[in-house]
């Protein structure tokens, strides 16, 4: 007799799934206590799982052992064409007692997804080594990192040959140029992102309209009296990529940083990141979150060196190749 049964996820499974998610989050917070404690409460975890279940096009599977649900997997598509014909397992979309069983659940649920033509699969996984390994053995690879660190407890000083200051309206032309530089960099090897690159005119228009928004703190780095880089800090609430279990309480967000290619290697990226960290501390935040493409050789090295610890891994699999 089979030790477990896998069947499609049903609405009646939500409370049991919330219990599993609560247990997973409790273990996750032992490694990352800055993550929100709310979801150690099954009632709030239920809100997150219910939202995943009620997402348009959601489907998934549960594992039943001895009459108890011991694992679940839920996913839903996103409408953005940038992700391809996709399906997403978000942070609240999976939890298992035995990491190996995520492979069985995916094997059951993915049949429907591929039959529907959804061949680009994404999953947000906590930094549990056994769970990540199980997803890797489903042919997923690491694509994107979510990370956190506490705010600094003492002022940070930039290198002597750099000036870090708040941006002024006269900086808009170079700010717009830097808005183009980052997606251009992401589109090259080894990232190969397909994200659209704005025109310089579009970037200029956006800065002219949004420059005075008080919700965003923009910093620039100067070298020999020339602006060579910029970074933006804001509340994490402004980020649509960090929600629920992945959104710490009272957190700032390092949302953007770029340096002109000709000026890389001067320490401007680190200094700009430190400026956002200091701004976050001065603003009263207790932690700072950022994220990066793991194939971006610059940010994937700069931000961990700045003290950011990875909390979630966004993994990706493309079916059929």
Q: Kindly report the CATH number assigned to the domain that includes residue 101.
A: 3.40.630.30
Q: How far apart are CA 111 and CA 204, in angstroms?
A: 46
Assess whether 126 and 256 both reside in one domain. Answer: no
Residue 160 has pLDDT above 90, yes or no: no
Buried (b) or exposed (e) across 301-315, using 16+ Cβ within 10 A?
Answer: ebbeebebebbbbbb
Residue 148: the pLDDT is: 98
Query: What average pLDDT score do residues 223-246 get?
Result: 96
What average pLDDT does this structure show over 134-154?
Answer: 97
Q: Based on the domain organization, do 103 and 196 belong to the same domain?
A: no
Q: In the structure, what pLDDT confidence band is assigned to residue 218 with cuts at 50, 70 and 90?
A: very high
Query: Same structural domain for residues 257 and 160?
Result: yes
Q: What is the mean predicted confidence (pLDDT) over 113-131?
A: 97
Contact 151, 280 (CB under 8 A): yes
pLDDT of residue 1: 42
Residues 117 and 193 in one domain: no
Residue 181 has pLDDT above 60, yes or no: yes
Residues 158 and 132 in one domain: no
Q: Do 188 and 293 have their domain in common?
A: yes
Indicate if 204 and 106 belong to the same structural domain.
no
Q: What percent of the chain has pLDDT over 70?
A: 99
Assigned domain for 187 exists:
yes
Q: Cα separation of 124 and 94, whole Å?
A: 9
Show the domain range for 236. Answer: 150-310
Which of the listed residues 112, 138, 164 is the one where a domain comes to its end?
Answer: 138
Which of 105, 138, 171 is where one domain is finished?
A: 138
Does residue 317 lie within any of the structural domains?
A: no
What's the mean pLDDT in 148-159? Answer: 88
- pLDDT confidence of residue 2: 60
Residue 144 within a domain: no
User: What's the confidence (pLDDT) of residue 154?
Assistant: 84
Q: What is the pLDDT of residue 195?
A: 86
User: Quick one: pLDDT band at residue 236, thresholds 50, 70, 90?
Assistant: very high
Same domain? For 72 and 159 the reply is no
Is 315 part of any domain? no
211 in a structural domain: yes
What's the pLDDT band for 183 if we cut at 50, 70, 90? very high
Same domain, residue pair 77 and 124: yes
Domain count, the chain: 2
User: CA 106, 111, 113, 114: dihedral to nearest 10 degrees?
Assistant: 120
**Average pLDDT in the 191-199 region?**
92
The pLDDT tens digits for 15-24 are 999 999 999 9
| Domain match, 90 and 163 both | no
pLDDT at 38 over 90: yes
195 in any annotated domain: yes
For residues 141-167, average pLDDT? 93
- Report the pLDDT averaged over residues 252-263: 97
Domain boundary among 138, 162, 186: 138
Q: Smallest Cα–Cα separation from 71: which of 109, 17, 11, 15?
A: 17
Spatial contact of 54 and 74, defined as CB atoms under 8 Å apart: no
Q: With contact defined as beta carbons under 8 Å apart, do 187 and 181 qualify?
A: no
pLDDT tens for residues 268-290?
Answer: 999 999 999 999 999 999 999 99
* Cis previous bond, 61, omega within 30: no
Residue 191 pLDDT > 90? yes
Q: What are 79-100's pLDDT values in tens digits?
A: 988 899 999 999 999 999 999 9
| 145 falls within a domain | no
Is 305 a member of any domain?
Answer: yes
pTM of the model: 0.94
Residues 34 and 83 in one domain: yes
User: Does 169 share its domain with 32?
Assistant: no
């Amino acid at each position: 007799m089979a030790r477990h049964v896998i069947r499609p996820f049903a609405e009646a499974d939500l409370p049991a799934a919330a219990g599993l998610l609560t247990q997973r989050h409790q273990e996750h917070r032992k490694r990352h206590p800055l993550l929100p404690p709310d979801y150690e409460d099954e009632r709030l975890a239920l809100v997150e799982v219910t939202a995943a279940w009620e997402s348009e096009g959601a489907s998934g599977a549960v594992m039943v052992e001895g009459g108890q649900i011991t694992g679940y997997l839920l996913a839903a598509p996103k409408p953005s064409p940038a992700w391809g014909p996709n399906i997403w397992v978000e942070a609240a979309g999976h939890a298992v007692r035995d990491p190996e069983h995520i492979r069985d659940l995916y094997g059951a649920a993915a049949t429907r997804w591929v039959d529907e033509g959804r061949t680009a699969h994404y999953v947000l996984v906590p930094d549990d080594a056994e769970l990540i390994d199980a997803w890797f053995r489903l042919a997923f690879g690491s694509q994107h990192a979510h990370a956190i660190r506490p705010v600094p407890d003492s002022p940070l000083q930039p290198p002597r040959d750099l000036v870090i200051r708040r941006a002024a309206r006269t900086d808009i032309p170079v700010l717009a140029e830097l808005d183009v530089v980052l997606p251009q960099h992401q589109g090259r090897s080894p990232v190969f992102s397909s994200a659209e690159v704005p025109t310089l005119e579009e970037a200029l228009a956006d800065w002219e309209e949004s420059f005075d928004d008080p919700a965003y703190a923009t910093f620039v780095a100067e070298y020999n009296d020339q602006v060579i880089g910029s970074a933006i800090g804001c509340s994490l609430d402004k980020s649509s990529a960090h929600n629920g279990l992945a959104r710490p309480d009272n957190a700032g967000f390092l949302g953007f940083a770029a340096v002109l290619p000709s000026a890389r290697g001067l320490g401007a990226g680190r200094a700009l990141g430190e400026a956002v960290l200091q701004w976050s501390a001065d603003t009263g935040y207790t932690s700072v979150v950022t994220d990066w493409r793991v194939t971006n050789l610059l940010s994937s090295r700069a931000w961990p060196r700045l003290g950011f610890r990875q909390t979630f891994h966004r993994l990706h699999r493309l079916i059929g190749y």
